[in-house]
A and B are shown apart, each in its own frame.
Chain A
Amino acid sequence: MTAVGMTETPPTIGMPRRSFLKWSGAAGGGAALVGAGASFGIPGVGAANAAAASPITGADSVAWNSCWVNCQSRCPLRFHVKDGTIVRVETDDAGDDELGSQQIRACVRGRSMRQRIYNADRLKAPMKRVGPRGAGEFEEITWDEAFDTIAAELERIIAEHGNEAVYLNSGTGTNGGAIGSRSSVRRFLNCLGGYLLSYGTYSTGAIQIAAPYTYGTSPSTNTFDDAVNSQLVVLWGNNPLETRMGGEAFVIQKAKQMSSTKFIVVDPRYSDTASTVGDEWVALHPGTDAALVAGMAHVMITEDLVDQEFLDTYCVGYDEEHMPEGIPAGNSYKSYILGTGPDGVVKTPAWASQITGVTSAQIISVARQIAGAKPCAISQGWGAQRQMNGENSARAVFMLALLTGNVGIPGGGTGDRETTYNFKVAGFPELKNPVGTSISICMWTDAVERGPEMTKLRDGVRGKDKLDTGIKFLFNYAGNTIVNQHMDANRTSKLLQDESLLEFILVIDNQMTASAKFADILLPDVSNVEQRDLTAGGSTGDLGYVIYADKAIEPLFDSKPIYEILTELAKRLGVEEEFTEGKTQDEWIDELIEATRKDTPAIPPNEEFRAAGVYRQNNPAGHVIPLKAFRDDPVANPLKTPSGKIEIFSKQIWDIAHTWELPEGQRITALPEHIVGAEGVEEARTNEKYPLQCIGHHYKSRTHSTYGNVPWLQEAHPQMVWINPADARERGIENDDVVQVFNDRGRIELVARVTPRIMPGVLSVPQGAWYRPDKDGLDRGGSINTLTSWNTTPLAKATTAHTNLVQVEKA
């Protein structure tokens, strides 16, 4: 037969080089001609280096290490080294395809490590700033000059403003290290008298503060392996198939295969979790989670589907018969749902549907499914709580687990994020911080701008009624949170131009990130494969592991490990002995391995461990089931709440609501109520200028901003904005068009992914792309944080990064 294509004119060089137009449905035109061998100077990449592409057996050595960034997996990697250069990266080669004995395979990010280690953006030598902050204009200096300058500035600022003026900025680029991590920096700063602390994280700001009001702690929920015991799994904004694509993705997929349990995914996007393990998708407007839960609760209550015995025994605040002392009538959750509370609104499915966009029929159906499945596992991701109403979104999702009595049992859960099994791995002692004051992690720019005005009741300052000083020294290690991963990059960038406010910015990193460009002194850190360390805290459900993070190659260029950098600074500041205790990094690692082996003697000794690379241990309890002891005996094992029970109505929050000063329009509620807030869906419906909600999902090509400059990953997963075909059509936008997304805070340029996989009225700009403003302020990097605000949630003072109204147009 004649093959398709044989009658066409053969191509010439320069024509679309591939035959994708023959692929059915390739509507977007041919691929661009990009095959120019863009090797980016990576050793071993490109035809010129073909000699290095020898069979694996040609490598001189293979060293175990890990991908140790912040997706919560720490995937094992094996680095093949030839003539001092890494020529290939492989993942775990032990284990099999079964739960509990699985091979822990790294995802696409870890597999691209070679291009991160040998990246053109690697910092090569110490530098000082010679242009305006953020311009990225630097001059190389000696290590001695760098150390002397930093030590002098630290000394001066501590003397003039106190230790509270020193702040360690958020940064998660080396999360998996023991010594090559922020632990070293904390220890160093504590040796100097401490620094202004932060509470919360950019990831979990609201839920981390909200959960303890309900549960006494942040309980997390059952491991994903335990899904085999569930009759129904609800993943509420929980997206392991995109965010934790190594070990955790395997666990949830395998558990699904083994059990055939139905999975419901709640998300404004038809995520890859929805398209793989999901069986039903509930698409809701961002920020309306508490309303959706309320509609479902109405179904459960009015159809008599709630577990009344569980609520009576284990909870406070469900109905009027179980309220704390001194609270006026009508403030129970049941009263709120049935409309007999202060707002007088019955939270029917019809009411919820108008807010959430979900039909009444689906709300009723899902509520009945959740109530009818015994047991039902409900877990929430952290997207829902990065909203203006984040605390209540998080606590509302807990309600589904509480109303149905699923807490603390196999196959059930608490409604929090899933946990993993871990055994104890020794960490670098960070010592005590004598400064007890802390601020919300995402309010550091407020503390730069107006530190002495910040108070306990208005700004959530802890440990003190108010700050005495603004932040004057910013210590930024392995993090891109100066601009990129902090909200409102343009506003932050402008703030930092005033050197009378933030007087000194130290950045230590191994890449020229968007944040590194703001450094006054910029120091080159090594990557993890250029030092020896110990990687704990892997995430593969009920399989725990620790990785011997071996040194594979010598430090590149004139870079130094963080431990060595801090030792030099400690020497100049007179605290070398306290910091090092006379030990080298290797000696510390030896000690940490031995300390870890004391608890877990099955871990092989140093050299054997080094050869094996990974030590694994199964959860001896089978699955982790948080709050099991409380469920088994609530009297003997009370929670750490004031009542010892689960507090659906929180008297603590009630008291806070009556004392704190809030910005106009914000409310704190003792029950997990839906609250109409700034830039929510209600405002979107009437805002003609900015009618679209914009969220920022985690992208497969990056862990936050880490890996954002890796060419293989930029090719595999280019930055884009997701837009529904209906919204695109109204604006004349087609798939792969270059568009601009904007609001009053900024404007970004990127390509459009026109896809039915996102609900109408909502855009999503994957977070973590590197902020790259041009001379007119247009961010050509497409960073979501050019569009986000410094606004915080009312109770936790957490980021509201997913609460943004925007407009989009063709570029």
Chain B
Amino acid sequence: MAAELGFHFDQTLCNGCKACSVACKDKHDLPVGVTWRRVAEYSGGTWQRDGNTVVPNVFSYYTSIACNHCEDPICVRVCPTTAMSQGPDGVVTVDQDVCVGCRYCEWACPYSAPQFDAEAGHMTKCDLCADYRSEGKDPACVAACPSRALSYGPVEELRAEHGDLAGVEPLPDPAITRPRLVITPHRDAQPSGSGTGSVANPEEL
């Protein structure tokens, strides 16, 4: 049986430049509005003022997120046409000939991974760059990151090396879909659901 694949993201290295996101768009010819890999900025904290002086107690970090090719892929479960399916390597793909664009998967996925292409009339999503992988190359996002914050591989290996963490704000509780995602947390990473900060860039997601 093929090893199930996932992503590793090192949050300590990400400066939110979005080379991953745009390299993905260039590779897959994605128009504005269809963004398979997105980067959320989560920021929070307070300032104390004392006369003319101020003291910051501020945090901020980024999370680059695409499809997590989940162990419990809710998009596959809710798809009424069987267009959404999961391969033996865990990679979730959408058959564009079968998809009718009902957008149930988009609504169900807590990571917003399936994306509707209005021009094409159906869903589109990350397939972990199947063509690149078949040529022995890394997925476009992984190969793009100037900071080397992204990697991919058999998720068991990623977890053995980097741990099991996937529940970092602003991502949802990993219990929902059991994402094949491993995060090395930023020093200020907040646990999912803690609500200590907010997504600074909702319009960019």
Chain A residues within CB distance 8 Å of chain B: 1, 3-6, 8, 10-11, 13, 17-20, 22-32, 34-40, 44-50, 52-53, 55-57, 88-91, 93, 97, 105-108, 111-112, 114, 241-242, 245-247, 249-250, 253, 270, 272-273, 275-276, 281, 283, 353-355, 357-360, 362, 685, 700, 711-718, 724, 726, 735-736, 751, 753, 755-757, 759-760
Contact with A along B79-94 (1 / 0, CB 8 A): 0000000000000000
Interface size class of B (residues with CB under 8 A): 35 or more
Kindly state the separation between the CA atoms of A753 and B62 in the bound complex, as whole angstroms.
16
A111-B144 contact, Cβ under 8 Å, with A6-B108, A24-B172: yes
On whether the beta carbons of B107 and A55 are closer than 8 Å, the reply is no
Asked if residues B32 and A49 are in contact (CB atoms below 8 Å), the reply is no
Evaluate contact between B45 and A24: CB separation under 8 angstroms. no
Q: Provide 24 A-B residue pairs closer than 8 Å at the C-beta atoms, listed in order of the A residue.
A: A3-B74, A4-B110, A23-B199, A23-B205, A26-B199, A29-B202, A30-B202, A34-B33, A35-B31, A55-B135, A56-B137, A89-B26, A105-B144, A108-B19, A249-B15, A270-B58, A275-B60, A353-B53, A354-B51, A357-B54, A711-B32, A712-B25, A751-B203, A760-B49
- Cα A5 to Cα B104 in complex, Å, equals 11
Pairwise interchain contact A35-B34, C-beta atoms closer than 8 A: yes
Q: How far is the CA of A45 from the CA of B55 in the complex (A)?
A: 47
State which of A283, A712, A735, A753 has its C-beta within 8 Å of the C-beta of B22.
A712
Q: State how many angstroms separate the Cβ of B197 from the closest Cβ of chain A.
A: 6
Given the contacts A4-B110, A10-B107, A250-B146, A25 and B198 also touching, CB distance less than 8 Å: yes
Judging by beta carbons under 8 Å apart, are A718 and B204 in contact?
Answer: yes
> 8 other contacts beyond A6-B78, A715-B32, with CB at 8 A cut-off?
A25-B170, A25-B199, A38-B32, A111-B19, A253-B147, A276-B15, A717-B18, A735-B202
| Cβ-defined contact, B203 with A272, below 8 A | no
Most chain A beta-carbon contacts within 10 A, residue among B28, B77, B193, B198: B198
- Contact A276/B12 with A88-B27, A111-B19 known, Cβ cut-off 8 Å: yes
Q: Which residue among B17, B74, B201 has the maximum number of chain A CB atoms within 10 Å of its CB?
A: B17
B170 to chain A, nearest CB (A): 5
Residue pair B33, A35 in contact (C-beta under 8 Å): yes
CB-CB under 8 A from A245, the residues of chain B are 15, 17, 19, 146
| Residues A37 and B18 in contact, CB atoms below 8 Å apart | no
Q: Which residues of A contact B42 (CB under 8 A)?
A: 25
Q: Which of B99-137 contact A (CB under 8 A)?
A: 103-104, 106-110, 112, 115-120, 131-132, 135, 137
Give A23 to B110 CA distance when docked, in angstroms: 7
Interface of A is mostly: loop
Please tell me if B68 contacts chain A, counting CB pairs below 8 Å: no
- Residues in A with CB closer than 8 Å to B28 are 53
Q: In the assembled complex, how far is the CB of residue A48 from the closest CB belonging to chain B, in whole angstroms?
A: 7
- Which residues of chain B are within 8 angstroms of A34 by Cβ–Cβ distance? 32-33
Task: List chain B residues, Cβ under 8 A from A90.
Answer: 23, 143
Contact between chains at A47 and B53 (CB < 8 Å): no
Q: Given the complex of chains A and B, what is the CA–CA distance between A53 and B19 in angstroms?
A: 19
Chain B residues, Cβ within 8 Å of A30: 202
Of all chain B residues, which has the CB nearest A34?
B33
Q: In whole angstroms, how far apart are the Cα atoms of A276 and B110 in the complex? A: 27
Q: Report which residue of A44, A90, A756 has the largest number of chain B beta carbons within 10 angstroms of its beta carbon.
A: A756
In the bound complex, residues from chain A placing their C-beta under 8 Å from that of B21 are 108, 716
- In Å, the complex CA distance between A34 and B47 comes to 36
B48 nearest CB across to chain A (Å): 9
Contact of A756 among B46, B49, B52 (CB under 8 A): B46
Q: A292 to chain B: closest CB distance in Å?
A: 12
Instruction: Check A55 against B120 for contact (C-beta < 8 Å).
Output: no
Q: Contact: B52 with A19, CB < 8 Å?
A: no
Partner of A112, one of B13, B22, B148: B22
Q: Which of A5, A11, A700, A756 contacts B17 (CB 8 A)?
A: A700
Q: For B56, list chain A residues within 8 Å (CB).
A: 270, 281, 283, 756, 759
